[in-house]
Amino acid sequence: MAKKWNLVIDVSRCMDCNDCFLADKDEFTGNDFPPYSVAQPWSGHRWMNIMRTERGQYPLVQVAYRPTPCLHCDDAPCIAKSPAGTVFKREDGLVIIDPVKAKGHPEIVATCPYEVIYWNEEAQVAQKCTGCAHLIDEGWTDTRCSQVCPAEAIKLVFADDAEMAAKAAAEGLEVLRPELGAKPRVYYKDLYLFDKAFIAASLAFGDTDECAEGARVTVSETSGGAVVGEAVASNYGDFYVDKLVPGKEYGVTIEAPGYAPATRIINLDKSVNLGTIVLGRP
């Protein structure tokens, strides 16, 4: 089975340095690469768009970054919904907008539910990340974005579909919006840092006014009672229970030897810092 292009992006490693964005600009601004692309405009396009999110409330806050290029979907909506022949998929999995056939078709921009296609007003053509197809054709084993990333948050993987499925299962890789059925070839590690929620708090012992280091925290779904997360308070008394699904109700139980359990019921709309919870003697 043929090896295909896949990109693996580790959200936990991205530090928003923008080297990938700048490398993309360096490669494509002012340069034509027929038959894959004409020159990217100086401004307005983010073929590698770094999305940002902040979770929690001061002082228990987390920030995450998600580099987002074209996802080069196997069942690409842009191919299905664009004029015939204007967008095509290569044998290696890369989805390409033909810069000649797609000229004069601004409607192509709206075909992408991930919003990663842009309109080049000067060239009158829709454009997006090409997966560095011209470099791959020259034998490159990196894209410009994966080559330049100092944190190794972006990695190019050539693998057949079975190998990639096994890798995704073994490493917990996910794709964006799987409910669309588009089957992206860009996979994310630790995506929960971007799209899931956490419950956090600072714990203290009421009788000593010390941080409640070692206190155990259990988070369960109130519907059914299934335990969905556990944590142990740090030496600062802080805990995080992550990977929770927003929109659900959870019960939080905090326990420490010699102290009465503390409980909370949380309707979790987004990540929440419960503030300081004081544990008292029975």
H/E run at residue 251:
strand 248-255
Q: Is the pLDDT of residue 1 over 90?
A: no
**Cα four-point dihedral sign 166, 144, 139, 114:** positive
Which superfamily is assigned to 197-279 in CATH? Immunoglobulins (2.60.40.10)
Confidence of residue 137 (pLDDT cuts 50, 70, 90): very high
Q: Which residues contact 165 (CB under 8 A, 6 or more apart)?
A: none
Dihedral angle computed from the Cα positions of residues 138, 143, 144 and 149, in that order, rounded to the nearest 10 degrees: -150
How large is the average pLDDT for residues 44-73?
97
The whole-angstrom separation of Cα 111 and Cα 76 is: 9
Indicate if the pLDDT at residue 155 is higher than 80. yes
Q: How far apart are CA 23 and CA 17, in angstroms?
A: 11
Residues 207-240 have pLDDT tens digits of 999 999 999 999 999 998 999 999 999 999 999 9
* Digit-coded pLDDT (tens) for 158-169: 999 999 999 999
CATH 2.60.40.10 domain extents, the chain: 197-279
pLDDT at position 269 is 96
**Whole-number Å distance between alpha carbons of 26 and 15:** 20
3-state secondary structure of 138: coil
The rounded distance, in Å, linking the Cα atoms of 231 and 238 is 10
**pLDDT over threshold 80, residue 176:** yes
CB neighbour list of residue 250: distance below 8 Å, 6 or more residues apart: 199, 219, 220, 221, 222, 228, 244, 265, 266, 268
Helix H or strand E encompassing 88: strand 87-89
Containing 81, the helix (H) or strand (E) segment is helix 77-81
Instruction: Name the CATH topology of 4-194.
Output: Alpha-Beta Plaits (3.30.70)
The residues near 39 (Cβ < 8 Å, ≥ 6 apart) are 28, 29, 30, 31, 32, 123
- What's the mean per-residue pLDDT of the chain? 97
Residue range 105-128: mean pLDDT, rounded:
98
Q: What is the 3-state secondary structure (H, E, C) of 44-62?
A: CCCCCEEEEEEEEECCEEE
In tens, the pLDDT along 253-278 reads: 999 999 999 999 999 999 999 999 99
In the chain, the percentage of residues whose pLDDT exceeds 90 is: 99
Class of residue 139 by CB neighbours under 10 A (exposed 0-12, middle 13-18, buried 19+): exposed
Judge whether residue 109 has pLDDT over 90.
yes
> How many alpha carbons lie under 13 Å from residue 71 in its C-beta half-sphere?
27
Rounded-to-10 torsion of CA 162, 164, 166, 170: 180
CATH 3.30.70.20 region(s) of the chain? 4-194
How far apart, in whole angstroms, are the C-alpha atoms of residue 203 and residue 58?
A: 15
Q: Of 37, 261, 258, 2, nearest to 134 (Cα)?
A: 37
- The pLDDT-based confidence of 2 (bands split at 50, 70, 90) is confident
